[in-house]
Amino acid sequence: MLHYRSSGKSNDQENRARMLISCPDRPGIVASVSRFLAEHGANIVHSDQYTLSPKGGMFFIRIEFDLEHMEERLVWLERDFEPVAKQFEMDWRIHLASKRKRLAIFVSKEDHCLVELLWQWRAGDLDADIVMVISNHPDMKTFVESFGIPYHHIPVTADSKSEAEARQIELIEEAGVDTIVLARYMQIVSPTFVQRYPNRIINIHHSFLPAFVGGNPYRQAHERGVKLIGATAHYVTEELDAGPIIEQDVERVSHRDSVDNLKRIGRNIERVVLARAVSWHIEDRILVYDNKTVVFN
Amino acid sequence: MLHYRSSGKSNDQENRARMLISCPDRPGIVASVSRFLAEHGANIVHSDQYTLSPKGGMFFIRIEFDLEHMEERLVWLERDFEPVAKQFEMDWRIHLASKRKRLAIFVSKEDHCLVELLWQWRAGDLDADIVMVISNHPDMKTFVESFGIPYHHIPVTADSKSEAEARQIELIEEAGVDTIVLARYMQIVSPTFVQRYPNRIINIHHSFLPAFVGGNPYRQAHERGVKLIGATAHYVTEELDAGPIIEQDVERVSHRDSVDNLKRIGRNIERVVLARAVSWHIEDRILVYDNKTVVFN
Amino acid sequence: MLHYRSSGKSNDQENRARMLISCPDRPGIVASVSRFLAEHGANIVHSDQYTLSPKGGMFFIRIEFDLEHMEERLVWLERDFEPVAKQFEMDWRIHLASKRKRLAIFVSKEDHCLVELLWQWRAGDLDADIVMVISNHPDMKTFVESFGIPYHHIPVTADSKSEAEARQIELIEEAGVDTIVLARYMQIVSPTFVQRYPNRIINIHHSFLPAFVGGNPYRQAHERGVKLIGATAHYVTEELDAGPIIEQDVERVSHRDSVDNLKRIGRNIERVVLARAVSWHIEDRILVYDNKTVVFN
Amino acid sequence: MLHYRSSGKSNDQENRARMLISCPDRPGIVASVSRFLAEHGANIVHSDQYTLSPKGGMFFIRIEFDLEHMEERLVWLERDFEPVAKQFEMDWRIHLASKRKRLAIFVSKEDHCLVELLWQWRAGDLDADIVMVISNHPDMKTFVESFGIPYHHIPVTADSKSEAEARQIELIEEAGVDTIVLARYMQIVSPTFVQRYPNRIINIHHSFLPAFVGGNPYRQAHERGVKLIGATAHYVTEELDAGPIIEQDVERVSHRDSVDNLKRIGRNIERVVLARAVSWHIEDRILVYDNKTVVFN
């Protein structure tokens, strides 16, 4: 009963940017930032703000604004903002809406999450470029290539793991990928890989975390006799299934459902939850703090 | 928060049948039917029953049972059951689980419902044969044919409407289609067509019926300012959007959602609701009575 | 799958205010308002903003801010804000969080919505003063009075209707009531009454509007054979069940559910939906525009 | 999006019974049981059946049936059924619908679950007798007694624990209690106590089990940053929070929700989930097998 909401596909996109700020809470932040934007001729289209515990806490804001000739003026805007950022000890960034995120999707044999992302992308609902699909299996090559997307089959064995990752990183770097989506990629990625892309690797885990960490969560769920099953999209960190949760959802099940039924029902949850998480990420709606996410949606 | 549940894909399918009965309620129905089945060597695997108002009401039952050599023995079983059926004035039928329903999918330009059905079919989750896709537009020909499914482009204009329907019926009859799915087919089918396939045409209407009957339901929903939008799968009857409802679901929306957003959110509800309804239909889980459905799931 | 969120019960309440603004969209609104607040020493704790169609549209904002000695300084703040408001043609108001809304609850015989509001109020979850309960029946007098709340039994007949309303208005005015909650009050209030309290009368309708307007919605729902039933909280306008929708929710039902079951299931939806709507209203989270609500939550 | 469904309050109740059977699966069970009932003049009003894995598995059935002069004839019915039960190695029982379950509710300081049960009971939605409330605190004495229900304040300290339990058991036995509801009773009951009432103690745990077992689950949920919180009703077994799950539900939360907000939101889930579980239990809809529940609803 929730959905991702996209910022739309209007022509304004080329003059639109999204600003994300985290900093210690203090009076005057909104006033300073909005005055800065007004003085630079920008028009705030949407802003959403969150303060973590009123006093001595943290302040988070996401601002969407329009500015004529945004692309050329971005560098000046960023330079001019430096003093404001310094004054409030801000962690900040500005993203151009016109600069679409570049995605690499990792997949193994289960294809439902991949298919969903491709379908949403083709329907124009996923405002990003899917620049490659990487898999440890060759199965979906033809299907993926029919969308005009390069497919890299990189087998992974216990022995070839680090070699495979080196190849993956090479491809990712060459193509300027900025977001990696593990769309039911059944391999554990190494700490080195994870550290290279902090808060930029999104995984879908097929359980309602923190219940059923690790392998075979649907079997675990069946054995425990739960009445709802779920899926969790999260940023990948070094600890397995313990990264910041972006989105979760559940579906009702009953004693009648076999493990196979749970898997089938689960597929629908997984694809929807992952697609929402990816959508929020590519629209710069997510800030990470204290191993949790602030999602502005 | 609900799902369709399939009866599984076990090897038992070839010896399994589903019996559906409606009749006036009276003592002894379950006893008679189950004794009949036991005496014929059948084993009841699942049964679900419903009585509409205890006294002077209606009785509905769905029984799944296994029987060795089911296919050859079906005719005898049906012949032997006649006296029982007569005694209780039953409206009844027996379906072999091994005899998959034959589906024709009608579609216009919006492809999400079609894609969902094809995807579930390819994944083995839709236990039916999709024997053709009929469209008043040529757009999806290549895509559909890549699944090995014939695609018939039959344009429909005000003038050609009855001619087009004649052609559709011809194709349907030739191919032995038993279920027609209107997967966002944006043409109103004629009373003649509807009467030919009672309780065999499933439509997806993109609103929570009976709210927003007719055209542009998302625009209507936006104008009314509702906080949830929905979709409804129903059997088609002569009165527009007034047939027996099979399934409905909703998603939360807010003042922030434009009509385009509602459409995008709605697409996900529509495909899921339609797929559930089709799944229940092909597993013989639905009985129609008094313009309503009894769904055994 | 949604909840009301209260602004908490911290000690800060006495220095907190909520500002609500609607005006034609134009560059610089956020900057002007936030500069104004900063210059007056206020600290923005939370702000939420919404623009209806980027160009030539409407701008809505809700700002929670803290200011030392808020109560005494409010008049100056309001006076000083006038020029800003004028410049942007704002429709605006500032509410002190410490000034709790004063509620009158109207009820007939069904008590579940009243009980819910009383229970939440006693638990400290409803940050308002319930100053009276008015009923056309005497049934709940003892119960209500056990909470220390005055109960006024004002019978309503076809003949006494206008007289009864006059008495209601008298009580409301005397007690300084600012919000009227129709908690399953089974009388239609007159246009005169409605006009007197625009966007201040909240009604709970026991259907998913606009489906099943008018009387006996659960019976109507049963006859149509819907698979979900719902409830809708809305501001009362002169047209029956057509006012701005604040909140809606649904529950799944099936062919098994009698009209009585729908009523029982519905009771739970009604009380939850109404309590959410009241909660949002008393926290000044709702703006009305074009017969719809903008709900900042 | 689910609800408990009661079997209604018709006059038929006095002649209605519910039969629950578990046994190894074998052909002919339904036939034998339904023939038995037909031969004894009983009319099956509702039956629901479930087979765990088709071959060599378990068979479960719940049958509601009407029989004239049920109360007097029950002993004969039970005696006559013995041979059938023996033949199929059945674990079985027959409950008279007219013989309402006798409940003891245990509570500590949080009253929302208790209030919900009392409210449903007073509204006639909980078809049982609440024969006592036991608490380790005196707080709710007046409130509970206003419903005409005895309130026993039995303080529990580390030292007095076994003494307190002895007193509880004494009260329970004297009053012929058959079901114990731990409605946020914040004491761990002893193995001795648990063994005495197998599948007759229902607890509400304020998390989505198996996530957040043990103390302070809302704090744990907040620390993990989950996007949904839940509650679980289960039968109590010796292992903490590990008994057969009866019902679960969740609500959406966000980064904005403090631990206190989670508690407030959670209260609504807890009361609804517990009330559903109790309702199913008192209508004899639950069978326990392999530390899981089969819920016929």
The answer to the question of residue A1 being in a domain is no
Instruction: Give Cα separations from C83 to C36, C38, C42, C57 (angstroms).
Output: 11, 16, 18, 22
What integer pLDDT is reported at residue D23 of this predicted model? 96
Band of pLDDT at residue D1, cut at 50, 70 and 90: very low
Cβ <8 Å between D30 and B27: no
3-state secondary structure of A84: helix
> A105 and A92: one domain?
no
The answer to the question of residue C5 being in a domain is no
Residues of C with Cβ-Cβ distance to A21 under 8 angstroms: none
What integer pLDDT is reported at residue C55 of this predicted model? 59
**Could you give the angle at the alpha carbon of B203 between the alpha carbons of B199 and B208, nearest 5°?**
115
3-state secondary structure of B257: coil
Cβ <8 Å between D251 and C146: no
Cβ <8 Å between A49 and C51: no
- β-partners of residue A248 are A232
The answer to the question of residue B4 being in a domain is no
CB-closest option in A2, A211, A255 to D210: A211
| Catalytic site positions of D | 241
Neighbour tally for A28: CB within 10 Å: 19
> A70 and A118: one domain?
no
Touching D (3+ Cβ pairs <8 A), the chains are A, B, C
Torsion angle of the four alpha carbons C39, C42, C43, C47, in this order, in degrees rounded to the nearest 10: -90
Whether A270 and A185 have beta carbons less than 8 Å apart is answered as: no
Q: Which of C69, C96, C123 is the last residue of a domain?
A: C96
CB-closest option in D1, D10, D37 to B31: D37
Q: What is the DSSP letter of D101?
A: E
CB-closest option in A125, A251, A272 to B3: A251
Over the stretch D130-187, which tens digit does the pLDDT of each residue have? 999 999 999 999 999 999 999 999 999 989 999 999 999 999 999 999 999 999 999 9
> B174 and B250: one domain?
yes
Q: What is the pLDDT along chain B (297 residues), one digit of tens a residue?
A: 343 344 444 446 789 999 999 999 988 898 899 889 989 999 888 889 988 875 568 999 999 999 999 999 999 999 999 999 999 999 999 999 999 999 999 999 999 999 999 999 998 889 999 999 999 999 999 999 999 999 999 999 989 999 999 999 999 999 999 999 999 999 999 999 999 999 999 999 999 999 999 889 999 999 999 999 999 999 999 999 999 999 999 999 999 999 999 999 999 999 999 999 999 999 999 999 999 999 998
The answer to the question of residue D1 being in a domain is no
Q: What is the CATH number of the domain that holds B130?
A: 3.40.50.170
Q: C22-36, C43-57, D57-71: which has the minimum mean pLDDT?
A: C43-57
Interface probe with C: pick from A7, A23, A44, A276, most Cβ of C within 10 Å: A44
Q: What is the CATH number of the domain that holds B74?
A: 3.30.70.260
Question: Which ipTM score applies to this complex?
Answer: 0.92
> A66 and A185: one domain?
no
Cβ <8 Å between A245 and D255: no
> B147 and B119: one domain?
yes
> D73 and D124: one domain?
no
What integer pLDDT is reported at residue B44 of this predicted model? 85
Q: In whole angstroms, give the CA distance from residue C199 to residue D223.
A: 39
What integer pLDDT is reported at residue C217 of this predicted model? 95
> C270 and C151: one domain?
yes
The answer to the question of residue D193 being in a domain is yes
Q: How far is C103 from chain D (nearest CA, A)?
A: 22
Residues of D with Cβ-Cβ distance to A225 under 8 angstroms: 244-245, 290-293
Touching C (3+ Cβ pairs <8 A), the chains are A, B, D
Over the stretch D33-50, which tens digit does the pLDDT of each residue have? 988 998 999 988 888 998
Average pLDDT, chain D: 92
> A133 and A62: one domain?
no
> C109 and C85: one domain?
no
Q: In this structure, what token pair is assigned to residue C296?
A: 């900042």
> Where are the extended beta strands (E) located within D53-200?
58-66, 91-96, 101-107, 128-135, 151-153, 179-182
The 10 Å CB-count burial string (b at 16+, else e) for B122-137 is eeebbbbbbbbbbbbe
Cβ <8 Å between A1 and D250: no
3-state secondary structure of D61: strand
Whether A293 and A285 have beta carbons less than 8 Å apart is answered as: no
The answer to the question of residue A147 being in a domain is yes
H/E stretch holding D120 reads: helix D112-122
> B191 and B116: one domain?
yes
Cβ <8 Å between A265 and B123: no
Interface probe with C: pick from A7, A11, A30, most Cβ of C within 10 Å: A30
> B31 and B139: one domain?
no
Q: What is the mean pLDDT of residues A235-244?
A: 95
Q: In this structure, what token pair is assigned to residue D245?
A: 């799950």
Residues of B with Cβ-Cβ distance to C258 under 8 angstroms: 53
Q: In whole angstroms, give the CA distance from residue D58 to residue D22.
A: 7
> D114 and D232: one domain?
yes
Please report how many Cα atoms fall inside a 13 Å half-sphere around the Cα of residue D194, on the Cβ side.
17
For residue D128, give its domain range: 101-295
CB-closest option in A227, A244, A295 to D245: A227
Share of chain D above pLDDT 90, in %: 83
Instruction: Give Cα separations from D192 to C138, D185, D189 (angstroms).
Output: 50, 17, 8
Average pLDDT, chain C: 92
Q: How far is B216 from chain C (nearest CA, A)?
A: 15
Whether C225 and C266 have beta carbons less than 8 Å apart is answered as: no
Tokens 């009661």 appear where? Answer: D6
Chain D positions touching chain C (beta carbons under 8 Å): 1-3, 5-6, 8, 112, 115, 119, 123, 125, 146, 250-253, 256-258, 260-261, 264-265, 267-268, 272
The answer to the question of residue A2 being in a domain is no
How many structural domains is chain A composed of?
2
Q: Which of C64, C96, C128 is the last residue of a domain?
A: C96
Q: In whole angstroms, give the CA distance from residue A220 to residue A241.
A: 15
3-state secondary structure of D157: coil
The 10 Å CB-count burial string (b at 16+, else e) for A69-95 is ebeebbeebeeebeebbeebebebebb
Answer left, alpha or beta for residue C69, where phi above 0 means left and psi between -120 and 50 means alpha. Answer: left
The answer to the question of residue C68 being in a domain is yes
What integer pLDDT is reported at residue D16 of this predicted model? 94
What integer pLDDT is reported at residue B12 of this predicted model? 60
Q: Which of D96, D124, D151 is the last residue of a domain?
A: D96
